[in-house]
A and B are shown apart, each in its own frame.
Chain A
Amino acid sequence: MLKIIPELCDGKMHCLRICPTQAIRIRNGKAINIEERCVDCGRCLQVCPHQAIAPQTDAWVQLEKLKYRVAVPSPALLGQFPREYSPEEILQALSRIGFQEAVDITQYCDWVSWAIREFILSYRGPKPLISSFCPAIVRLIQIRYPSLINQLIPLKGPEVIAVEALRQKRSNGQMKGPKDFNAIYLTPCPAMVTQGENDPDHQTISGAVSIRDLYNPLLAFLNQQPDAYRWPMPTMGTGLRWARLGGSGSALREQSWITVSGLYEIVRVLDDIESGKLKDTDYAECWSCRGGCIGGPLTVENYYMAYHKVILLEQRKIHTSPLEVDQLRKLYHQGFFHLEERQKPKSYSGPEVNLIEALARRRVKEQALALFPMINCGVCGAPDCNTLAEDISRGQAEVSDCIFHGQAHLEELKRIYKVPAEGDKE
C-alpha cells in the first residue's frame, strides 16, 4: 500500500487524475488513498511533484540489522547503469555495499519461463492463462476481474524460485554457505513490496528495498575500481529478457501468446478476455508498468535507455549452461514451481449486499449522476463525476461536494487553496 505523507501533499490533484483504479480522493486539500481500490501500480508516485507518495519499501538502515543478507535483484536493476558496467560487476558490487552475496535472478527467470510452457502444455481450462508475476496485475484481477482469477497462472515468480532454490542447494549440501539467510528483493516498483504482506509464497523474502535507494551507493562503488571478485561469475542467460517485455513467454514456441503493458491497456485486454474474445490465445503476459519492469516507478534510468541496454546485454556472447530439463522436470513434478495457495478475489465494492440493496444503491448513483455536469473537474475530491456518484451511493460523499451544487464547499475550497477574491491584494 502506498502511503501519502500529508505534510508534503498540497492537494494539487496530479495523483487524483492519473490513478487508473480511481483509488485517490482529495479531502480537505490532501490526497488520501483508498486501500481496497489501490493496486500499488505506483503511477501516482511518478507524477507527484513533491514526493508526497512514498512506497512502503524497507529502509536500508532497518535491513542492515538483519543477519546474512542475500540480494535478489529484479532483472530491471541490470539495465540501470552505464554500459561499461557488466551485470557481473553490478552483482559483485552489491556484495560490497551491504549484502553478503547476490543472486543471479536471470537464471531462475529462465526456469520459470520453462515452467510456464510446461504448465500451458497440460492446461485444459478457459484460455488464455494470465501471467501472475506482476503483483499489481494480480491485485487488479482480484479486485476488478474476479471471474478471471482462476486464469492466473499458479506459478511462483523468479524471485521466489531463486531464493527457494538457493535454500535447497544449501540444505542438501550442493552449495556452500549459510542455510539461514535473509533474502532482500531489489525492487523496481512498490507493488512487489506489498506482495509479501498477504501472500504466503512471498514470505520467503524478508524485505524489499527500492532500486532508487540503492542506486547512488552502487554507482559510487562501481565508479571506484572494484578489486578481485569474491565469487564465481554468475550466468547471464536469456532470462534477462524478464526486465523488458516478453521474458515470461520466451520459452513458448507453438503457443499463441500476447504481451501487454500499461494498466489502461491491460484493462481493455482483461475486458476482452472476460468476454471470451481471446479464447484462442494460450497466454497473456501482463505488466502494470509500460514496457515491463524497466519502466517501474522505482527505477532510475529512463525507460528507453534501459531498454537499449538490456537488449545489448542480451546479445552478449556469453557462455551459459543449457537448461537441465530433466532436473527442472523433476522439480516441477515435486511442485517446486507451483504456488502453495491460489489467489483469491477481493471485493472493492465493499461488503457483499443482496441484489435488492445493490440495485437500490445503483439507483442512488444514477440519480446523483444525472445532477452532475460530467466535466470530471475533480474539485469535489473524486477523480470524475461517475466516481463521485459511486461514493455518494455508498454514503461516502454528498451531492453538495460538487461545486455546481454546493456553494459552501466552494467557499471552503477557496480557503483551503488560498484563492483570493478578485481585487484583493496580497
Chain B
Amino acid sequence: MRPDDRQSDRVPLLKQRWEVQGGNFITAGNVSTKIKDLLKEIQISPDLIRRLAICCYEAEMNIVMYAGKGSMTLEIHSSELVLIVEDQGQGIPDINLAMQEGWSTATEAMREKGFGAGMGLPNIKRNADKFDLTSKLGQGTTLRVSITLT
C-alpha cells in the first residue's frame, strides 16, 4: 500500500458533527434521526442504518442523561461508518462495570422516564463492528463505534 492510499483512507468522504444538549429530554433523539436521514439519503443499506441508528440513539441518550453537553460526529469512509461520541461529563469510573448488562447509575427520575435499564452500552456494542470506549474521570468520555460497509 502506498502512503497516500492510507492517507485517503483516514480522511473521511464525509464528516459531520452535531451538538447534543445534556439534560434536555424534549429534543433527545433528534440528532440520531438526523444522522439516520443522512444515511438514508446516501442509500446506505437498511440493515446497516438500523444498526447505526440504534448506536446513535443509545449514545445520544447517554449524553442527555449523564453529561452536561456533548457531540456526535459521523464519518463516512469508503469501507466503514464511524460514529464518534464525545462528552464533557463526569466520566465512567469503571468501564468494565458499565459494560455489564443491567448495571446503571441512573437516578430514580430517569428510570421513571423509562431509561436507565443498564442496557445502553451493551446494546451499542452488540450493534457495532468495532467498539472503543475511553473515559477520564472528571473530564469526559469518548466512544468510537464503527460499522463495516458491506
Contact = CB atoms under 8 A, between A and B. Distances in A.
Interface of A: 144, 146-147, 149, 271-272, 274-277, 345, 347, 349, 352-353, 355-356, 358-359, 361-362, 365
B149 A355 contact: yes
Contacts of B78: 355-356
Given A272-B29, A355-B78, A349 B41 contact: yes
A146 B36 CA distance: 12
Given A147-B49, A271-B36, A276-B53, A355 B29 contact: no
Interface centre among A149, A276, A353, A365 (most CB of B within 10 A): A276
A355 B36 contact: no
Interface stretch (B54-62, B88-96, B138-146): B54-62
Contacts of B14: 359, 362
Contact of B29 (A277, A349, A353): A277
B14 to A, nearest CB: 6
B113 to A, nearest CB: 12
Given A358-B41, A359-B76, 15 more contacts: A144-B40, A147-B47, A147-B49, A149-B46, A271-B33, A272-B29, A276-B57, A349-B41, A353-B43, A355-B76, A355-B78, A358-B43, A359-B14, A362-B14, A362-B42
Contacts of A345: 46
A145 B44 CA distance: 12
Contacts of A146: 46
B32 interface: yes
B53 A274 contact: yes
Given A144-B40, A362-B14, A362-B41, A276 B47 contact: no
Contacts of B50: 147, 274
Nearest to A350: B43
Given A271-B33, A347-B43, A362-B42, A355 B57 contact: no
Contacts of B43: 347, 349, 352-353, 355, 358
B13 interface: yes
Interface class of chain B by DSSP: helix
Contact of A147 (B29, B46, B56): B46
5 contacts: A149-B46, A275-B57, A361-B42, A362-B38, A365-B41
Contacts of A352: 43
Interface of B: 13-14, 29, 32-33, 36, 38, 40-44, 46-47, 49-50, 53-54, 56-58, 76, 78, 123, 149
Contact of B42 (A144, A147, A277, A359): A359
Nearest to A280: B114
A103 to B, nearest CB: 37
A275 B56 contact: yes
A362 B33 CA distance: 17
A146 B46 CA distance: 6
Contact of B123 (A276, A356, A358): A276
A277 B57 contact: yes
Contacts of B36: 271, 274-275
A275 B42 contact: no
Contacts of B57: 275-277
Nearest to B33: A271
A386 to B, nearest CB: 10
A352 B45 CA distance: 10
A149 B45 CA distance: 13
Nearest to B117: A280
Nearest to B114: A280
A198 B33 CA distance: 30
Contacts of A275: 29, 32-33, 36, 53-54, 56-57
A275 B58 CA distance: 8
A359 B13 contact: yes
Which 9 pairs of residues, A with B, have the shortest CB-CB distance? A275-B57, A147-B46, A147-B50, A358-B42, A146-B46, A276-B54, A271-B33, A358-B43, A275-B53
A361 B38 CA distance: 12
B58 to A, nearest CB: 7
A349 B32 CA distance: 20
A259 B54 CA distance: 23
